[in-house]
């Protein structure tokens, strides 16, 4: 943990996002990150966890020093088929009613987060861009939540993974987007509303996503931070992939 943070800091990364606290207290986590020259500005929790334990989870994040707390996945009302890959399994487990009840729960969590000096947001996967009774879950989340309570962390890779043009999605939801997850896809398959068959991620700039267009579209959004992300299985060793991604982004004028 500590060595990885130091490698990232030395490589040139400045901010990180937590998805688990690695058995550390808020102070221990904060000191490890800052000791590597990094700033942990946001963190992830599953929405089910936040619904059940929002006060404790928000308080822990506040004590770490993050500014954003994100729901990293929806809360279905029925069990997920663990024999299926996660992207398809969560999409099949959710219903339109689930998405709407999730949005209502998020609005309440976001209201409490604001009271605690935090911003709350939602991080998408591909399911949010599939059709449920003729509606897109992302549209329902935006429609049913107060922008003061719920912002978006748009995962560009998962938008493309649902067959959509990420730059178009950025323009569509620009006023809500405070954060990006950026990861590149190897496949050029794009059928709107259909999860791609090949979900392999590759270093940023070596895949099929038009990053200049994405960052150009983001100029209309209150984008505060973005995070490079790779999903397993890793085609390129993790640290090397992060190095290649940063080198590409450092030379991308639109990302500055």
Tens-digit pLDDT profile for residues 142-166: 999 999 999 999 999 999 999 999 9
Would you say the pTM of this structure is higher than 0.95? yes
Give the C-alpha separation, 187 to 197, whole Å: 8
Q: Which residues lie below 8 Å from residue 104, measured CB to CB, with a gap of 6+? A: 144
CA distances from 174 to 56, 113, 167, 200, 218 (A): 31, 22, 10, 27, 7
What does DSSP say about strands 184-185 and 201-202: parallel, antiparallel, or unpaired? antiparallel
pLDDT at 57 over 90: yes
**Tokens 């080198």 map to which residue?**
247
Share of the chain above pLDDT 90, in %: 99
Check whether the bond before 66 is cis (ω within 30° of 0): no
Span 109-113, mean pLDDT? Answer: 98
> pLDDT tens digits, residue range 14-47?
999 999 999 999 999 999 999 999 999 999 999 9
Give the C-alpha separation, 17 to 19, whole Å: 7
pLDDT value at position 151?
Answer: 98
> pLDDT tens digits, residue range 209-224?
999 999 999 999 999 9
pLDDT value at position 256?
Answer: 84
> pLDDT tens digits, residue range 75-105?
999 999 999 999 999 999 999 999 999 999 9
pLDDT value at position 234?
Answer: 93
pLDDT at 129 over 90: yes
Span 181-193, mean pLDDT? Answer: 97
């Amino acid at each position: 943990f500590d060595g990885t943070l130091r490698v990232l800091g030395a490589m040139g990364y400045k901010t990180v996002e937590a998805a688990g606290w690695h058995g550390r207290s808020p102070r221990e986590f904060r000191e490890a990150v800052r000791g590597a020259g990094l700033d942990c500005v946001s963190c992830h929790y599953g929405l089910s966890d936040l619904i059940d334990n929002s006060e404790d989870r928000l308080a822990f994040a506040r004590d770490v020093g993050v500014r954003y707390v994100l729901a990293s996945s929806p809360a279905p009302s029925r069990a997920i088929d663990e024999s299926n890959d996660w992207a398809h399994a969560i999409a099949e487990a959710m219903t339109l009613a689930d998405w709407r009840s999730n949005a209502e729960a998020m609005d309440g969590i976001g209201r409490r987060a604001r009271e605690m000096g935090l911003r709350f947001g939602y991080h998408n996967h591909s399911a949010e861009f599939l059709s449920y009774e003729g509606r897109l879950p992302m549209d329902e989340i935006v429609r049913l939540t107060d922008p003061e309570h719920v912002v978006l962390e748009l995962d560009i890779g998962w938008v493309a993974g649902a067959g959509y043009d990420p730059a178009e999605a950025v323009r569509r939801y620009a006023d809500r987007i405070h954060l990006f997850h950026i990861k590149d896809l190897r496949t050029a398959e794009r059928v709107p509303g259909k999860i791609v068959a090949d979900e392999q991620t590759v270093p940023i700039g070596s895949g099929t996503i038009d990053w200049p267009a994405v960052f150009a579209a983001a100029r209309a959004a209150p984008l505060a931070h973005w995070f490079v992300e790779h999903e397993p299985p890793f085609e390129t060793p993790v640290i090397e992939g992060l190095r290649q991604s940063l080198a590409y982004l450092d030379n991308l004028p639109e990302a500055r």
